[in-house]
Amino acid sequence: MASINSTMSNGHTSNGHAPNGTPDEGQNQVKRTMPMRHATIGDIAKLLNAELVGDAKIIITGVGGLENAEPGSIAFIEHERLLKTALSSGAAAIIVPDTMAAKMRRVERKVGKPAVLTGNPRLAFAKVMEFLQPSQLPAPGIHPTAIVEPDAYLGEGVTVREHCYIGHHAHIGNGVVIYPHVVIGDGAQIGDNSILYPSVVIAHHVNIGQRVRIHSGSVLGGDGFGYVMENGKHRKVPQVGTVIIEDDVEIGANVCIDRATMGATRVGAGTKIDNLVQVAHNVQIGRNCILCGQVGLSGSVIIEDDAVLAGQAGLRDHVKIGKGATLGAKAGIMNDVKAGDFVTGSPAVTHKEFLRMEAAARKLPDALRTLRTLERQVRELQARLGTVDGNSDTIDEE
């Protein structure tokens, strides 16, 4: 791969040679984007390899939700109960489940609104969004205010925006987009076609795979939280490992993924991490996992493939979450969770047990009222029995 010859603030290109361009080239970057596309609903059906019911020539100019769909837009539904709303919306066409094929043929003859039939309307809608509204990315080139060390390597078509820093021996793959104020440390590797949004920090020797998106404010490769007591004080344990992010991972804003003490903290291919998530040192996250907002993982946690962690789930150190397990919102995980299990609560229990406990808890006010009534009745009965006993004693004495 050839390195980009583009102007840098230190007067050298990424391969150490003198620049060919002028400073203005970096400042006058244009968007590398496609204009908004228009397409017929017939073309969209072909794009999705889906069946079309209705007039194939109707033009689609954008996408919209059912509440705000404008004329010319396309919307989607996943349930038949929303069909009436979809038909009365401003959308020119709708994407619907293919299980509704027979009904849509009858409906379309009455209202004239085309429908695309597919097994996964949400996925189809995402593909239409990508087609009609392509992502806007800045043009390749290195902005004059960026600092790129002479021994850093930049592949073909790389974008480095304002006030970025790329360290010694860093390796930036083809088509990478680096937005303003990003810091990439010495020896870090960024795979092809990855995007780093503003103010991301990639610490030294962190390895990022291909097609990874890292949103603003996230820090990858900060020191793990490791200390040992010495003479009543906390002594820092050196964190000499790294972080490995595999291909097709997306990391939300203000996420922290800590460097391993030794070895690597790892995030598996296809995993998606929401905003404000903490991943501690030596955590191992499998492939295609979902971590929702404010999840917290302590050190050396293992999460196997396809697991789902709902918002604010918190995991103690060294626990293992089995393949395909689901942790409910605010779950407090103190022990291992078996593959496929669904747990909720803090401390977490199986979801069925949690629901029984929750149902019982909701009955507590009534149970307490009943208990107080019974206590009062017992006291009254004891009082009457005491009177009877006293009378009996008097009779006996007589």
**Active-site residue numbers?**
281
The residues pairing with 258 across neighbouring beta strands, listed in sequence order, are 222
Q: CA-to-CA distance for 49 and 384, rounded, in angstroms?
A: 84
Burial class (CB in 10 A: 0-12, 13-18, 19+), 159: buried
Helical segments of 82-159, H only: 83-88, 101-111, 121-132
For Cα atoms 240, 241, 247, give the angle at the middle one, nearest 5 degrees.
Answer: 150
* Token pair of 178 as six digits: 């680096």
What is the distance between the terminal CA atoms of the chain, rounded to a whole angstrom? 117
For Cα atoms 247, 161, 140, give the angle at the middle one, nearest 5 degrees.
Answer: 70
Distance of CA 173 to the CA centre of its chain: 24
User: Cα dist. 23→9, 11, 146, 166, 398 in Å?
Assistant: 9, 10, 11, 19, 121
Q: CA-to-CA distance for 122 and 56, rounded, in angstroms?
A: 21
The residues pairing with 72 across neighbouring beta strands, listed in sequence order, are none
Nearest alpha-carbon partner for 275 in 257, 293, 296, 287: 293
What is the amino acid identity at position 362? Answer: R
Question: Would you call 154 helix, strand, or coil by DSSP?
Answer: strand
**Quick check: 90 and 70 in contact, CB under 8 A?**
yes
Question: Would you call 358 helix, strand, or coil by DSSP?
Answer: helix
Q: CA-to-CA distance for 148 and 176, rounded, in angstroms?
A: 14
